[in-house]
Structure formats: structure tokens, C-alpha cells
Amino acid sequence: MAKAQITARVPEVVCQKLNYLASQKGITRQEFIEQVLTEATSGTEVPSSFQAKTYVSPEVLETIKANIDTLSAGQEIGLKKLVGHELWSELEHSTRRNFGKDFKEMVLSGEISGLSLGRKKTNNEQMYNRI
């Protein structure tokens, strides 16, 4: 079975506990976490139609959709403004980058309606146009 890489940030005290539990089993922390996650998900069946973007909460996606509805035709906007300053600032830098790439694909595929791909700003921010 192919393995996917995931990253989780946890408090140091949790990391210490994971190290301790792994050492008690004589395995690496990575192996221990893989075992725990495998056990936690073993009884779960994922429908073939499931395609969620897991970088952000449903709240963020709903905010984006609501903000798109307020735009005028032809109006240009970036993802940061669509999400809103408060929610955007709560996202980790890596989450923002990954979600930005996914969001572009969501717009291109029509999964996010009402927007088309716009220009790239000089700071590399992808802009979108309301259609």
C-alpha cells in the first residue's frame, strides 16, 4: 500500500509522550503514530465520491462562497480577501500555500463557481475575477 506524507504540529509535551509510548513498544515515534492512526481509522469506509479539501475547515469554504456572492461581475479579488483577514491569519503559512494551490484547481475545475482565473500580481498572489 502506498503511503502519503502528513505533517502534524503538536505541543512539546504531547511529542514527549509520543516518544515515551513509542520507546515502550520498542519502535520509532513515526511507527507508533502510524499504528495509532491505522487503528483509529481501521473501521472507516470512505465513499469513492468523497473529495474533501482538508487544508481548511468547512467554515472557511462557506465564508469564501458567501464572499463570492457579494462581488460585482468583473471584480478582481485574491484568496486572502475572500477568506477574510481574521480567518486567513489563523491559518498556518504552509496551509495557506497548499490551500492556495488547491483553490486555484477548484476554480479551474468549476468546483468553486462564480470565479475565473485572473492575473498573478508581482508578489505572486493569484487573483480571481468574478464572473
Q: Tell me the per-residue pLDDT of 1-20, one tens digit each, with 9 for 90 and over.
A: 788 888 888 999 999 999 99
Reported pTM: 0.63
CA distance 129 to 75: 5
Per-residue pLDDT, 78: 97
Per-residue pLDDT, 4: 82
